[in-house]
Structure formats: structure tokens, C-alpha cells
Amino acid sequence: INYKTYLSLIPLLISLSHTITAFLKNTKIYKITFLTTCIIWIYYNYSVKAFTCLIGNILEAFSTSISLHKTKKKERFSPLFQQLL
């Protein structure tokens, strides 16, 4: 670990959070963690002027938020479908 500023700790914290949540069975928690870390990556890549990675992180955050929305919608209608079966 090479500590110069607080920005040098961001990739380490993101990697730790991904590693910890990867072992969880709940995909919703993993998606929320992924969205949170995408936002942190956006801040980090903007700070270090990595604009190509910034575009990729924005697209990842957008697709993850769509996935979370679909998951929430599916959970909301899940009891209704279970009654029909």
C-alpha cells in the first residue's frame, strides 16, 4: 500500500467492499454495493483525470440502477404471482 493522499485508499476500499459482498447470497445487496462503488469510482476517476474510465463508470452506474429498479419491481409483484400459482 502506497499512501500519499486519501485518494490512494479509494481503490483499496472499493476492492475490499467488492470482495466482502461477493460472498453474500443476496444479489440486491451486491447491486447496491456495486452502485455505491461505481459512484466512488466516478469521483476517483474524475479526481485523477481518467476520463475514459469515468465514462465506463457512468455507464456501469446507469446499468446497475436499471437492474436495481427491475429487481424492486419484480419483488413488488412477486407475492401476486405466487398467489396465482
Q: Which residue has the cell 467492499?
A: 17
Chain segment 3-51, per-residue pLDDT in tens: 778 888 899 999 999 899 888 888 888 888 999 999 999 999 999 999 9
Chain segment 61-79, per-residue pLDDT in tens: 999 999 888 887 777 666 6
Query: Which cell is 57 given?
Result: 463508470
Going by the DSSP 8-state scheme, the letter that residue 49 receives in this structure is T
**Residue 61 near residue 35 (C-beta atoms within 8 A):** yes
What Å distances lie between residue 58 and 6, 19, 76, CA to CA?
A: 22, 21, 27
**Would the pTM count as exceeding 0.85?**
no
- For residue 81, pLDDT over 60 is answered with no
Cα–Cα–Cα angle for 66, 70, 68, rounded to 5 degrees:
55
Query: Which cell is 85 given?
Result: 400459482
